[in-house]
Amino acid sequence: MLAYARHLPVLALYLLVMGLHFWMWRALSSQARRRIAFQAALLLATALLTAGFLLGFNTVIRLLPQGEWMAWVRAAAMTWSLASFGLALMLWIWRLTPAFKPSRRRLLRTASLAAASAPVFAGGFGAFVERSAIRARELDLRFPDLPSDLDGLRLAQLTDIHLGPFLSEKELARAIAMANEFQPHISLVTGDLISERSDPLDACLRLLSGLRAEA
């Protein structure tokens, strides 16, 4: 039982988002012209969310064909979980906006929806675009009392890898190749390698064995 206790926060988030789905389903059902499209989209989102939640269990993972598709499904499910809060807030604002003074109503709705949707788009950009923008920074550090034997020592550091839904094995391999291009004397790995037990720790260690150092 204790092994499954760590899933309780994720389960709570899953149930909360499912509750938001149910509320949005009922709220959007009043839109007769687009009801079917809205409900179909929510059904697909619910299936995605459920798949992402189940892929957090090692028992489920072992029953399925392995591949990067699991990371993409989990990443999409996590992103949608966060986006659901923004979308629910947008819908709530839309429904509560008073009907008087159409021009003022449109302005209030536009401003409110823009404020509510900003975290959604920011989260999506960070999850699917910025996460793959891996950069290598070269810093020249100077120490007045550095022994002459260490002058010119090159260090390469990889940190906060978190191999899993938001960083694929291919992207980690690219980061390692970038680090090797500096021909470091010493290679350092700091931070978390994975985020959850179901993340591919063995694959992460295998890829990190490709780090090169001249020392």
Distances (CA, A) of 61 to 47, 78, 158, 161: 17, 17, 28, 21
Q: Residue 211: pLDDT band by 50, 70, 90 thresholds?
A: very high
The predicted-structure confidence for 146-205, as pLDDT tens digits, reads as follows 898 888 899 999 988 888 877 888 889 999 999 999 899 999 999 889 877 777 888 899
Position 30 scores a pLDDT of 64
Instruction: Using a pLDDT cut of 90, give the percent of the chain over it.
Output: 14
Confidence bin at 120 (pLDDT 50/70/90): low
Tally of CB atoms within 10 A around 164:
24
| Rg for the chain, CA atoms, rounded | 23
The structure tokens 């007769």 sit at: 32
pLDDT in tens, 104-113: 556 555 655 5
Q: What is the distance, to the nearest Å, from the Cα of residue 196 to the centroid of all Cα atoms in its chain? A: 13
197, 163 contact by CB (below 8 A): no
Phi and psi of 120, rounded to 5°?
Answer: -65, -50
Which range has the top average pLDDT, 28-32, 162-166, 209-213? 209-213
Give residue 145's pLDDT band: very low, low, confident or very high (50, 70, 90): confident
Residue owning tokens 């028992």 = 59
How much is the pLDDT for 205? 93
Per-residue pLDDT at 97 exceeds 90: no
* pLDDT tens by residue, 44-63: 888 888 888 887 777 777 78
pLDDT recorded at residue 213: 86
Question: Mean pLDDT score of the chain, rounded to an integer?
Answer: 76
pLDDT of 127 strictly over 60: no
How far apart are the C-alpha atoms of 47 and 17, rounded to whole Å? 12
What is the three-class DSSP state of 199? Answer: coil
Apex CA 191: angle with CA 188 and CA 192, to 5°?
125
Q: Strands, E, within 132-205: which ranges?
A: 155-159, 186-190
Is residue 174 within 8 A of residue 203, CB to CB? The reply is: no
